[in-house]
Chain A
Amino acid sequence: AQKITQTQPGMFVQEKEAVTLDCTYDTSDQSYGLFWYKQPSSGEMIFLIYQGSYDEQNATEGRYSLNFQKARKSANLVISASQLGDSAMYFCAMRERSNSNSGYALNFGKGTSLLVTP
């Protein structure tokens, strides 16, 4: 079963506008971590932001914030004031404590392609 679901294959946003990329997850663990990564055309996966399941406040890193709604099991990424350089693939990922098969690594969603237009 898919652990991470990103329902938006592609998104467009105009420069300087805010955009929300959706992510829902599935876990029965109480302790888990949620991550967002950016992958530009160069291929490198760049870490953006982390949210722990026990963190009461939404994580923020510069223009990135994570809208964490634990009861709904969603961890949406919000990018404020989009820039042309934000055009890339964005991946949501989760790390669980009890996943015996992949307990040491991240489960990734299929990604959302974001295009920022002038």
Chain B
Amino acid sequence: ETGVTQTPRHLVMGMTNKKSLKCEQHLGHNAMYWYKQSAKKPLELMFVYSLEERVENNSVPSRFSPECPNSSHLFLHLHTLQPEDSALYLCASSQDIGTVALGELFFGEGSRLTVL
């Protein structure tokens, strides 16, 4: 139990569907992140939120839309995805951002997304 919970754990969707991934952290952290993990590629940072404000959008296509209603919850809304978007989507949180030493990220178990 890491304190970061992601749902659903597995999701299969068609290219015309709209779905959402949910992340919840129980650690009292101020920063939350979405990462994408594709096969044989390094983890790719997608979005960073600090105190519910988006501080980074790492050139992610608009078919991915993040939402952070409060510091404990982070969503990733998905629509008109492509098969190449199939991957493991990992949510993470940290106490704060901006300080190198405070780099410890706590990850959820990920949402395995398959786009048909």
Give the interface of A toward B (CB within 8 A). 2, 4, 31-33, 35, 37, 42-47, 50, 52-53, 91, 93, 95-97, 101-111
Asked whether B2 lies within 8 Å of A44 as measured between CB atoms, the reply is yes
- Tell me the residues in window 42-56 of chain B with beta carbons closer than 8 Å to chain A beta carbons: 42-43, 45, 48, 50, 55-56
List, sorted by A's number, 19 A–B pairs whose CB atoms are closer than 8 Å: A32-B100, A35-B103, A37-B107, A43-B112, A44-B107, A44-B110, A45-B105, A45-B107, A47-B105, A95-B103, A96-B100, A101-B56, A102-B45, A102-B58, A105-B33, A105-B35, A108-B43, A109-B42, A110-B40
Nearest CB to that of A45 among chain B residues? B107
Asked whether A105 lies within 8 Å of B56 as measured between CB atoms, the reply is yes
Residue numbers in B under 8 Å from A111 (CB-CB): 42
A33-B101, A106-B103 are contacts. A91–B43 as well, Cβ < 8 Å? yes
Asked whether B109 lies within 8 Å of A43 as measured between CB atoms, the reply is yes
A43-B112, A108-B43 are contacts. A102–B103 as well, Cβ < 8 Å? no
Of the stretches B18-26, B76-84, B90-98, the one at the interface is B90-98
